[in-house]
Structure 1
Amino acid sequence: MIDIVLRDADPVLVDRIKRVAEARGWSLPMAMQYLLEQGLHVYEGDGSVRLDLSEADVLQAAIAALEQVPSDPGYAAIGRVTPAARD
């Protein structure tokens, strides 16, 4: 494996990397490797973001909960389309 060395890195960038590593429980080398891999996927691929299974489950649950909001003339109508009348 190749050692990763950041020279003259912006302190804000270094702090962001450290925060990601701490939040995920990763070592700095592991965080750097993962962040580089994910960044490459974005630039080499179609640019779409992929969720891991737990994130996808949480998003699906949130969408399902929002779909259960009862109709009202206020917030529940945001983003909803009224069906067109049929002749």
Structure 2
Amino acid sequence: MTDIVLKDADPILFDRIRRVAEARGWDLPRALQYLLEQGLHVYEGDGSVRFENDEADVMQAMIAALEQVPDDPGYASIGRIPRPEPG
């Protein structure tokens, strides 16, 4: 594999990369490789981010569970916009 060298990087950009690496438990070369790969996927595609299959399955299960929350005046109303009365 080719070494990734980042010369004359803006200190703020480097700090952002370092924080991502630390948060994910990656070393800096792995973080750079992953960030480059993901960035290329975004620019080569239609700009949308896609989930891996297992992530998509978890997201679908989460949405399905949230859809089962009963419609009550309290908890189920959190984050919902009241609809205006017709007329």
Same fold (TM over 0.5): yes
Percent identical residues: 74
Instruction: From the superposition, tell whether residues 67 and 3 of structure 1 become closer, same or farther in structure 2 (CA, over 3 Å).
Output: same
Q: CA deviation at 1:42?
A: 0.8
1:43 is matched by which residue type in structure 2?
Y
What secondary structure is seen at the aligned counterpart in 2 of 1:2? coil
* Kept in 2: contact 1:4–1:29 (CA 8 A): yes
1:53 is matched by which residue type in structure 2?
N
Q: Which digits, 9 at most, give the CA deviation of each residue in 1:17-68, with x for residues without a partner?
A: 1122122222211111111111111111111211123432332222112101
Q: Which residue of structure 2 aligns with residue 5 of structure 1?
A: 5
Runs of 4 or more consecutive aligned structure 1 residues displaced over 4 Å after TM superposition = none
TM-score scaled by length of structure 1: 0.71
TM-score scaled by length of structure 2: 0.71
Q: Which residue of structure 2 aligns with residue 69 of structure 1?
A: 69
| RMSD, matched Cα | 2.5
Instruction: From the superposition, tell whether residues 77 and 38 of structure 1 become closer, same or farther in structure 2 (CA, over 3 Å).
Output: closer
Q: Gaps (5+ residues) in structure 1?
A: 82-87
Paired positions, count: 80
Instruction: From the superposition, tell whether residues 24 and 53 of structure 1 become closer, same or farther in structure 2 (CA, over 3 Å).
Output: farther
Which structure has the higher relative contact order (CA within 8 Å, separation 6+)? Answer: 2
Q: Gaps (5+ residues) in structure 2?
A: none
Q: CA deviation at 1:14?
A: 1.1
* Kept in 2: contact 1:70–1:76 (CA 8 A): no
